[in-house]
Structure 1
Amino acid sequence: MQHNKTKLHFFSVVPNQTLWGCAIICTIFEHCMISFRASLVFATILIAISMLNGCQNAREKSGPDDIVWIKNSHAQLFRIGLTKTDSFLEVYDAPNSMLSIGKFCWGSSSKIEGYQKIENRSKIVSLSAIHTGMLAELGLGKSIVGVESKQYIAHPAIYTSSLLDSVQELAPDGPIIPEKLANLKPQILIGYVFNIQEKSTIERIAKNHFLVIWSNNHLEPHPLGRAEWIVAMGWLLGKSKESTELFQGISKEYLAIAKQAANPDQGKKSDMGSNKSNKNNRPTVMMNIPYNGQWFVPQGQSYMSQFILDAGGIPITLQPEGSGSNMVGLEKALQAMQLADIWINTDNCNTRKCLTEMDPRVLNIKALQGNRVFNFNKKLNPNGSNSYWDLGCIFPNLVLRDLHKIIQNDTQSLYFYQRCK
């Protein structure tokens, strides 16, 4: 309090002219500070925009100056580039991410800074049935020397041939067995990041011995994005022409089905003589089954939701944003799905009896009452492997064709799906 009194006393003895001068100085100072703050804010915005643009262009700036990057159709987690002498593959940890988890090159240059050179491709370990299927589809099955587990391999080019007997299992019962991988001495390992510990183990064994390519195609949110990874595999392993042509055919049919589903009445005349959209009459589609009192419900931007939308249906998601799944309580899920027109992907339940034994309340679901429940179990092999998981990823056009037929109530010639009995 004494300090305030002193301060007031000081101003009381200052002449008016001095106070007027102080006021002018203070006013000028205040305007300067406002101007400075505005300039600072503006500069901060410019810096932020510059940093954002820098992040967006970070992928473009990597690699040699003369590299030309090929634009992907749908895939977001890899890119392929070319110069006059070399080819390049960069892989990323997530969609729209700037974090590279691998940079590879091959060609006539002896060494390119920042890239691992691929020289030998004759001994490959594949730790995913999907990647194994892609290799088989490109005619590279004989190059596979090791797999995660033979139990999951369903591609007919391997499952029905002697190749299945010759490959080594590296993780038949869970985590990868380090000794088996080290003794196999592969030249390339293609896998996906399952957990950090296993990733570290593999990279430790691989150091200075073989290349590791993390192919997280399962994180691609669009079915064609996942399928497009066969192009990356093809370029990487000397099958660029074959893989590109294969994917182009897959994409062409997929997009044609999606276009037809989006305009079901295109070319048909209504009573008023004009084309009429049927979008408001799209059936709702629920997915999956409950597990331990929870229901895994795909989010609105997920892989399966995209399938349903492209097939002409409306996915029941409960959350429009996100590309994963939500664990929803059973009560809430049953309430949301009660009026679903179609029910798909019932996992191990292939009969109505199995579904009702899980929870009798599913009898109230409209899809079950209308006998419109379908599972992807038509291509099961005797060992329990299911072609839906690998061939369905490579050929999403076949999955979309099935789903479109189910939505159209034309279920006589389905490829992966069949009606639950």
Structure 2
Amino acid sequence: MKRYFLLFFLIFLLFACKKETKLEQNDWQKISQNVEIKSDGHFLKLKSGKFNYKIPTSKLPFKRIMLLNASLVGYFTELSLENKIIGISSPEYVYSKKIHQLLKEGKIQNIGNEQKYDLEKIIALKPDVIFTNYIASFDNTYDLIKKNGIEIIFLDEYLEQNPLEKSKYLLVIGELLGVQKEATVRFNEIKNSYDSLKILAQSSSVKPSVLANEMYGNEWFLPGGKSNLAAFVLDANASYINAGNPDFKAVPMSFEEVFAKSQQAQYWINVGNHQTKKELLQINPNYAKMNVFNTGELYTLTGKEERKSNDYFESGVVRADLVLKDYIKIFHSELLPKYNLTYMKALK
């Protein structure tokens, strides 16, 4: 009797496991606070911000891609999908050498810029899909493209404040372009690298004070305490001067407010794309009053910059681990003695 009971129990367990696995496949996979994705075999469903997509799997994977903003390029170069791109806007802001080679060969077309997209060329090229950030003022342009049977998918990665959730958009691209396994492997590598670096940073007993960004006009847009920048500084085991602020976005402050907050700052990061401290002073002489300007260390985002393009805003969007590694090298250089900065550069 015991044998029959055990056999019955194992069969029940087997079916229960199968049922659970099937349910997991049909559940929404959370990419971030803004993006979720799932497949039911017939449709790939995507939630991206306020937009919902239901794409027949018969139309996947997408083979002919257009990109309307450079910040999404990094996901395609990370997965070696450059050959799927047939059109790109504002190529002068793209860093990838392979993209520029394909442009030179005519395999990727320049489709204009945000001031004036070449709609005739876009429609004539008949892409399977266009990926872009959503800009409300372009609704008429989007509607015209959609009326010509072209799918537009809005991916607003710049809204993500968790560094690894930004990297995780790789899984969305993987699903839509049929490289799910490659995307999963690549994301896991980035995540494991990031997590290891975070643990390494915590091994330092020093926690320096950090200031970020610079003034534009009469306001200093200081990233909020829940921002992407604040997350990087925390994970790099440093103390961000605006960490107590509850905002996700940058907070406009006067010079006097930032001056008061940054008295103990030892590092000043993300100081635009300036070449020298002298150049920085020419923009705002008040910087000379700041202790961090006179005795601290300043770093710009010009480590991989070429003409109008900057790889920090391209591959750096995806490679959260390398961005974190740069910050750890800056704040705790003894932990990474042989590492040279990737995206950052000391301002002299």
TM-score where L is the length of structure 2: 0.85
Query: Residue type matched to 2:164 in 1?
Result: L
Q: What SS does structure 1 have at the residue aligned with 2:131? A: strand
Q: Please say if residues 301 and 323 of structure 1, whose CA atoms lie closer than 8 Å, have aligned partners that are also in contact.
A: yes
> Where do 1:28-43 residues align within 5 Å?
none
Describe the superposition over 1:180-223 as per-residue Cα deviations: whole angstroms up to 9, x where unpaired: 322332110111112x1313421332235111111111111111
Partner of 1:349: 274
Query: Residue type matched to 1:336 in 2?
Result: K
Of the candidates 121, 130, 137, which is equivalent to residue 180 of structure 1? 121
Q: Which runs of 4+ in 1 moved over 4 A?
A: 64-67
Q: 1:67 to 1:254 in 2, by over 3 A?
A: closer
**1:312 CA drift (Å):** 0.9
- 1:86 and 1:157 map into 2 onto residues whose CA distance is 35
Partner of 2:183: 243
- 1:138 and 1:90 map into 2 onto residues whose CA distance is 20
Query: Residue type matched to 1:88 in 2?
Result: L
Partner of 2:99: 158
Give yes or no for the alignment of 1:233 onto 2:183: no
Q: 1:66 to 1:384 in 2, by over 3 A?
A: closer
Give yes or no for the alignment of 1:292 onto 2:217: yes
Q: What SS does structure 2 have at the residue aligned with 1:296? A: strand
**1:79 CA drift (Å):** 1.9
**1:104 CA drift (Å):** 3.0
Q: 1:329 to 1:164 in 2, by over 3 A?
A: farther
**1:238 CA drift (Å):** 0.4
**1:70 CA drift (Å):** 5.3
Partner of 2:14: none
- 2:43 and 2:181 map into 1 onto residues whose CA distance is 14
Query: Residue type matched to 1:188 in 2?
Result: V
Give yes or no for the alignment of 1:104 onto 2:28: no
Identity between Structure 1 and Structure 2 (%)? 25
> Where do 1:130-209 residues align within 5 Å?
130-159=71-100, 161-166=101-106, 167-172=108-113, 174-194=115-135, 196-207=136-147, 209=149
- 2:113 and 2:140 map into 1 onto residues whose CA distance is 19
- 1:262 and 1:175 map into 2 onto residues whose CA distance is 48
Partner of 1:30: none
**1:241 CA drift (Å):** 0.5
Q: Please say if residues 123 and 148 of structure 2, whose CA atoms lie closer than 8 Å, have aligned partners that are also in contact.
A: no
- 1:314 and 1:175 map into 2 onto residues whose CA distance is 43
- 2:165 and 2:157 map into 1 onto residues whose CA distance is 8
Q: Please say if residues 80 and 87 of structure 1, whose CA atoms lie closer than 8 Å, have aligned partners that are also in contact.
A: no
**1:245 CA drift (Å):** 0.4
Give yes or no for the alignment of 1:217 onto 2:157: yes
**1:296 CA drift (Å):** 0.8
Partner of 2:48: 92
- 1:165 and 1:386 map into 2 onto residues whose CA distance is 22
Describe the superposition over 1:214-267 as per-residue Cα deviations: whole angstroms up to 9, x where unpaired: 111111111111111011001111010001100000010111111222343xxx
- 1:350 and 1:371 map into 2 onto residues whose CA distance is 17
Partner of 1:416: 343
**1:153 CA drift (Å):** 0.8
- 1:107 and 1:178 map into 2 onto residues whose CA distance is 27
Query: Residue type matched to 1:89 in 2?
Result: K
Q: Please say if residues 176 and 198 of structure 1, whose CA atoms lie closer than 8 Å, have aligned partners that are also in contact.
A: no
Q: What SS does structure 2 have at the residue aligned with 1:320? A: coil
Partner of 1:370: 295
- 2:169 and 2:45 map into 1 onto residues whose CA distance is 11
Q: Please say if residues 142 and 163 of structure 1, whose CA atoms lie closer than 8 Å, have aligned partners that are also in contact.
A: no
Q: What SS does structure 2 have at the residue aligned with 1:209? A: coil
Query: Residue type matched to 1:391 in 2?
Result: S
Q: Please say if residues 226 and 243 of structure 2, whose CA atoms lie closer than 8 Å, have aligned partners that are also in contact.
A: no
> Where do 1:53-132 residues align within 5 Å?
68-69=26-27, 71-72=29-30, 75-83=32-40, 85-86=41-42, 88-93=44-49, 99=50, 101-107=51-57, 118-119=59-60, 121-132=62-73
Query: Residue type matched to 1:245 in 2?
Result: V
Give yes or no for the alignment of 1:402 onto 2:332: no
TM-score where L is the length of structure 1: 0.71
By relative contact order (CA 8 Å, sep 6+), the higher-ranking structure is 2
Give yes or no for the alignment of 1:385 onto 2:309: yes
Query: Residue type matched to 2:46 in 1?
Result: E
- 1:367 and 1:224 map into 2 onto residues whose CA distance is 30
- 2:92 and 2:237 map into 1 onto residues whose CA distance is 34
Query: Residue type matched to 1:395 in 2?
Result: R
Q: Report the structure number with the largest CA radius of gyration.
A: 1
Q: Please say if residues 77 and 92 of structure 1, whose CA atoms lie closer than 8 Å, have aligned partners that are also in contact.
A: yes
Q: Please say if residues 340 and 365 of structure 1, whose CA atoms lie closer than 8 Å, have aligned partners that are also in contact.
A: no
Q: Please say if residues 175 and 198 of structure 1, whose CA atoms lie closer than 8 Å, have aligned partners that are also in contact.
A: no
Q: 1:91 to 1:256 in 2, by over 3 A?
A: same
- 1:183 and 1:389 map into 2 onto residues whose CA distance is 30
Query: Residue type matched to 1:146 in 2?
Result: G
- 1:104 and 1:157 map into 2 onto residues whose CA distance is 32
**1:360 CA drift (Å):** 2.6
Partner of 1:259: 199
Query: Residue type matched to 1:107 in 2?
Result: T
Q: How many residue pairs were aligned? A: 323
Q: What SS does structure 1 have at the residue aligned with 2:317? A: helix
Q: What SS does structure 2 have at the residue aligned with 1:162? A: helix
- 2:112 and 2:262 map into 1 onto residues whose CA distance is 38
